[in-house]
Chains A and B, each alone.
Chain A
Amino acid sequence: MIPCSLLRVIDSGSSETGADERRQDEEIQMNGLAMADKYYTEYGSRAKELKAEGKKVIGSKIYWPDVDATVDPVQGIAERYLRKLKLPTTYVGSGNTYKENLEARFGHLRQYIDTFNVNGVILFIYKYCDPYGFEVPAIKSFIESTGVPVLYLEDEYSMSSLARMKTRVEAFLEMIA
C-alpha cells in the first residue's frame, strides 16, 4: 500500500506539489484513504485507454498546508495538525451555519476541482473506516454542488474486488468522457 498523496508526487514526477500546478487536460480527482498501488495502476492504465484522464489529484491535502513560523514552534505544529489539516478524524470545522461548516471542512476540494480542471471525482472509502464513512453523503453532495460528478466506491484492503471496481471506474470514465 502506498498513500495517495505520495502517488501524486510519483505521478507528477516531481517533489513539488504546489497548488499553482495548473493542469489543462482532463482530470480525475481521487478522494479518500490510502489506496492499494495495484488499484492506482489499474485505474490509471484504463483511464489512459479511454483518453479521459490525465493526472490525479490525490491525498495532497496532507502536504500542502505549511507550519506557520510561531514563537513557540510546537504551537505552530499543533495549529497545523488541528486547524489546517482537514482530516475527518480531527477536524471539526467552524461556521455559524451548516453551509459554512461544509465550506470549512470541504472547501479545499472545490479549490482543487477549480485549480486542476477536474471533470470527475472518485470518492474511495475503505469499509470499516468510520471517520471517512460518515462523511460520504455530505462530501458527495458538496462536490456534486460544484457540478462535478462523483463516483463513490467502497472496498476493503483486498485485490479480490479489483475486476468489479474496474468495471465501475470504466463506466464512470465513459460517462464523463
Chain B
Amino acid sequence: MAEEKKPRQLATEAAAKIPRMARANIVATLKAKEEGKKVANAFIVDGHDEIMRAMDIVPAWGESYSGICAAKRDAEKYLQKAEAENFSRSLCTYATCSLGFDMWREELGGQIPPDSPWGGMARPDMILGSAQQLCDPRFKWPQATQHYLQDVPVFIGSMYYPTWDPNIDHKDQERFYVKYAVEELRSAVRFLEKHSGKKMDWDRLASIVDLTDRTWNLFVETYELRKAHPCPMDTGDAMNTMVPISFMLGTQEAYDFYLALNTELKEKIEAHKGVVENEKYRLLWGAGLPSWFALADFQYFNGRGAVFPVETTYRCCEPVYRLDLPEVSDPLEHIAWRWVRYWTHWYDKARQRPGSMPEVERLVEYIEDYKCDGVVFHSAFSCRTWHAGIILQTEILKKVYRDIPILVMEGDIVDISSYNEADTHNRIDAFIETLEAARVRKMRG
C-alpha cells in the first residue's frame, strides 16, 4: 500500500498546473488506443520529440511514469516485480520500475495492473530507444522491455557529440557528429513510417522544429528571471515545471506554459515576492536527478532560508541564438546541430581555464550569474552515468574556481529504501551551518 505523504507547498501557480499536465500525458496513451493512434515508448532529451509529434505518434514516457510512481511512494510493487525476474536492484530504477509495470500488464493480458498510479500507461505499438546519448540503461531498457513485449518493434538510435579534450578543437569534429546524428534521425523516421503506416510531413516537422527553437529560447529566458533577489522560483518548482520542456516539447501547450510562467515570475519580481521570506543563502542544484519521493526536502532547505535559483537538472536546452547554429534547410540536420552545439558550447570557455571541464564551467557560470553561495548535488545510487561524475566535478570546481561550500546528498530517484529522512535533514542542517560560517567569513572580509 502506498505510504501517505504530505502535499508539497508550491511557490508558483504555474507549478501547481503540472500534475494535471503530467497526468494528461499518461492518459493520452490510453486515449490513443481508443482513437486508433500509435503509441511509442519514448525517452526524453533524445531528439525524437519533434519527429513523433509531426507523425501524431503519442509518446509513452517510462521515465515520467516511474517518477510519478516514486512521487506517490507507490513504486515498490513494480521494483519487486522486476527484481523477481532477475533485474538487479542496482540497475536504473526508472527502468526497473517501468519494466515491472510492463511485465505486470502483460501478465494481465494487456489490462492495466490494479491501483496503478494515474490509471497506468498503455501498451506501446513500438519502442523508440535512445542509445547512449545520456546513459547505458536507455540503450538496454528497450531491449529488456522487448523480452516481455516480443511483438513490439524496437528502434535504437544514437546521437553522440564530440568528447571533451582540452587539446583538441572540437569544431573540426562537429560536422562528423552531425552527419552521423542526421542519419540516425532519418533511420528513426523510416522506422516510424514503417510501423505507423504514416508518411512524415516534412513541412509540419519544420514548423514543429521552429516551435521547439522558440520554446528553448523562452524556457531559458524565463528561468533567467530567477536571477532576481529575492528569487521568485526555486528548484523545488523547477522539478515540476520541467514537464513541458521534457515531455511536451514541440507542442504549443509547452510554449504557452512558459509564456504564462514568464508573466508570473515578472509579476513576482515586481512585487518583490520571493520563495522564502528572508532569503539568506542562494544555492545551485549542481547535478543529479531528485529523489521523487522526497521533493519536500526542497522546502526543508527553504525553511532554513536557502533557495535554489538555478539547477542543471532538466535544463537540457540553451537559447538557440547563443549556439551559433548554421542555416540548414533539413529539419533533421537542424535538430542534429542543435543537439551537438548544446553540448559543445561550453567547450571554448572550459579551454580558457586550465584544468577545467565543460560541466564545471557550466557550474561556474551559474554560480556567478545567479550569485550562489553553495552547490548541492544529489547522487542517486542506481544512476551511474550522471552521478558517477559528481565527485570529480566537486574536486575540479574547488580547484579551478574557489572553495565554495558543497553538499553531496545520497539516495535514489525511485527506490525509497535508499532514503533516510532524518539523516538527510541532519546533513542539510550541517550544510546550512557551513554556509553560515562562510557568510560570516565573507562579511568579515
Q: Which residues of A contact B (CB under 8 A)?
A: 88-89, 92-93, 97-99, 101, 125, 127-128, 130-131, 133-138, 140-141, 152, 154
Say yes or no for B91: interface residue by CB 8 A criterion. yes
| Contact status A134-B150, CB under 8 Å | no
Choose among A130, A138, A140 the residue that contacts B91 (Cβ–Cβ < 8 A).
A130
**Cβ–Cβ < 8 Å partners of A135 in chain B:** 140, 143-144
Say yes or no for B270: interface residue by CB 8 A criterion. no
Tell me, in angstroms, the Cα distance from A151 to B154 when the chains sit together. Answer: 29
Tell me, in angstroms, the Cα distance from A136 to B88 when the chains sit together. Answer: 9
| Contact status A134-B384, CB under 8 Å | no
| Contact status A137-B384, CB under 8 Å | no
Tell me, in angstroms, the Cα distance from A66 to B135 when the chains sit together. Answer: 29
**Cβ–Cβ < 8 Å partners of A133 in chain B:** 87-88, 90-91, 140
Give B78-104 interface residues, CB cut-off 8 Å to A: 85-88, 90-92, 95
**Cβ–Cβ < 8 Å partners of A140 in chain B:** 86
| Contact status A92-B91, CB under 8 Å | no
| Residue of B86, B139, B156 with highest tally of chain A CB at under 10 A | B86
Tell me, in angstroms, the Cα distance from A154 to B86 when the chains sit together. Answer: 10
**Cβ–Cβ < 8 Å partners of B141 in chain A:** 134
**Apart from A127-B88, A127-B90, A130-B384, what 11 extra A-B contacts exist at CB < 8 Å?**
A89-B136, A92-B156, A93-B143, A128-B384, A130-B91, A130-B136, A130-B140, A134-B140, A134-B143, A135-B144, A137-B86
Choose among B139, B147, B154 the residue that contacts A131 (Cβ–Cβ < 8 A).
B139
Tell me, in angstroms, the Cα distance from A145 to B396 when the chains sit together. Answer: 50
Nearest-Cβ distance from residue A117 to partner chain B, whole angstroms? 26
| Residue of A92, A93, A99 with highest tally of chain B CB at under 10 A | A92
Whether A138 contacts B147 in the complex (CB less than 8 A), given A92-B156, A130-B384, comes out as yes
Sampled A-B contacts (16; CB under 8 Å): A93-B143, A101-B154, A127-B90, A128-B90, A130-B135, A130-B137, A130-B140, A133-B90, A133-B140, A134-B87, A134-B95, A134-B141, A137-B147, A138-B144, A138-B147, A140-B86
For A98, give the chain B residue with the smallest CB separation.
Answer: B150
Nearest-Cβ distance from residue A30 to partner chain B, whole angstroms? 17
Nearest-Cβ distance from residue A127 to partner chain B, whole angstroms? 5
**Cβ–Cβ < 8 Å partners of A97 in chain B:** 150
| Residue of B147, B150, B384 with highest tally of chain A CB at under 10 A | B147
Tell me, in angstroms, the Cα distance from A61 to B151 when the chains sit together. Answer: 29
**Cβ–Cβ < 8 Å partners of A138 in chain B:** 143-144, 147
| Contact status B137-A137, CB under 8 Å | no
| Contact status B136-A98, CB under 8 Å | no
Q: List 9 tightest A-B contacts by C-beta distance, closest first.
A: A134-B140, A98-B150, A130-B136, A134-B144, A127-B90, A138-B147, A136-B86, A128-B90, A133-B91
Say yes or no for B146: interface residue by CB 8 A criterion. yes
Q: Mark B220-247, 1 if CB is under 8 A from A, else 0.
A: 0000000000000000000000000000
